[in-house]
């Protein structure tokens, strides 16, 4: 597989899929690969999985990080697992650590969010940063060159309680789909960087 890496090339702004779609992981993988296509191989990839293991709905990010860790996924540096979550209290410090460790990294931010009832179960991948904690009125710094979000429940009323009462089965199944997307797309990029196809 060849990735041409042209920094001025842009992919589609975003893709939204239902996690129950049989082709969900493939669609998300194709979209993330299109976005990575424009990222120089010299840039380090950092995945930041945001959330906490103390709330079912908000555990989507750390669950994804843990799945990636167990799969021994390659081609990126991971922050945020169930054992060592990245959450509201340590997010600014984590971002400072990333800035010290890497020069101009490409950051993929992953987080749960709340939305309309009809959107629950939707996974979105898009360009640009996300604003963690916005759904629960927290003011945190924007994170990511690309963001992946999973709508785990309905927003608009008593958000903390809603997150804590989100179905674990939904969160785990969404985490599996998103982790598969990240694992496959970043592995393909890693292979392409290590073994570039001659022109």
Residue 1 lies in a domain: no
Residues facing residue 118 across a β-bridge? none
Q: H helices within 4-86, ranges in order?
A: 24-36, 60-70
Domain that holds residue 56: 14-191
Predicted pLDDT at 9: 40
As given in the structure block, the two tokens for residue 82 are 């169930």
Q: What percent of the chain has pLDDT over 70?
A: 88
Contact 125, 15 (CB under 8 A): yes
Residue 161 lies in a domain: yes
Residue 30 lies in a domain: yes
Residue 28 lies in a domain: yes
Name the residue with higher pLDDT: 27 or 3: 27
Q: How far is CA 59 from the centre of its chain?
A: 13
Q: How many structural domains does the chain have? A: 1
**Residue 10: band (very low, low, confident or very high) from pLDDT cuts 50, 70, 90:** very low
**Residue 105 confidence (pLDDT) above 90:** yes
**Residue 137: band (very low, low, confident or very high) from pLDDT cuts 50, 70, 90:** low
What is the mean pLDDT of the segment spanning 99-121?
95
Q: Residue 159 belongs to a domain with what CATH number?
A: 3.40.50.1450
What is the mean pLDDT of the segment spanning 68-90?
95
**Residue 193: band (very low, low, confident or very high) from pLDDT cuts 50, 70, 90:** confident
Predicted pLDDT at 6: 39
A 10 A CB-CB count for 84 gives 15
**Residue 190 confidence (pLDDT) above 80:** yes
Strand arrangement of the beta sheet that strand 45-49 belongs to: 14-18, 122-127, 146-154, 106-115, 45-49, 77-79
Residue 8 lies in a domain: no
Distance CA 38, CA 62 (A): 27
Predicted pLDDT at 164: 85
How many angstroms separate the Cα of 108 from the Cα of each of 27, 77, 105, 199? 17, 10, 10, 29
**Residue 165: band (very low, low, confident or very high) from pLDDT cuts 50, 70, 90:** confident
Residue 87 lies in a domain: yes
Residue 5 lies in a domain: no
Give the distance between the most distant pair of CA atoms in the chain: 56
Residue 197 lies in a domain: no
As given in the structure block, the two tokens for residue 129 are 């940063």
């Amino acid at each position: 597989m060849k990735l041409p890496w042209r920094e001025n090339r842009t992919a589609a702004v975003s893709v939204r899929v239902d996690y129950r779609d049989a082709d969900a992981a493939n669609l998300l993988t194709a979209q993330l690969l299109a976005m990575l296509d424009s990222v120089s191989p010299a840039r380090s990839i950092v995945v930041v999985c945001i959330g906490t293991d103390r709330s079912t709905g908000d555990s989507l990010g750390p669950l994804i990080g843990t799945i990636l860790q167990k799969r021994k996924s390659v081609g990126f540096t991971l922050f945020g697992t169930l054992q060592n979550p990245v959450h509201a209290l340590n997010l600014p410090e984590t971002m400072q650590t990333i800035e010290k460790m890497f020069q101009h990294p490409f950051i993929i931010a992953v987080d749960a969010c709340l939305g309309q009832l009809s959107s629950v179960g939707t996974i979105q991948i898009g360009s640009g940063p996300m604003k963690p904690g916005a759904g629960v009125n927290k003011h945190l710094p924007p994170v990511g060159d690309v963001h992946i979000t999973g709508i785990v429940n309905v927003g608009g009323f008593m958000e903390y309680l809603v997150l804590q009462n989100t179905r674990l089965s939904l969160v785990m199944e969404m985490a599996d789909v998103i982790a598969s997307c990240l694992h496959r797309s970043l592995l393909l990029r890693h292979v392409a960087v290590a073994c570039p196809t001659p022109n």
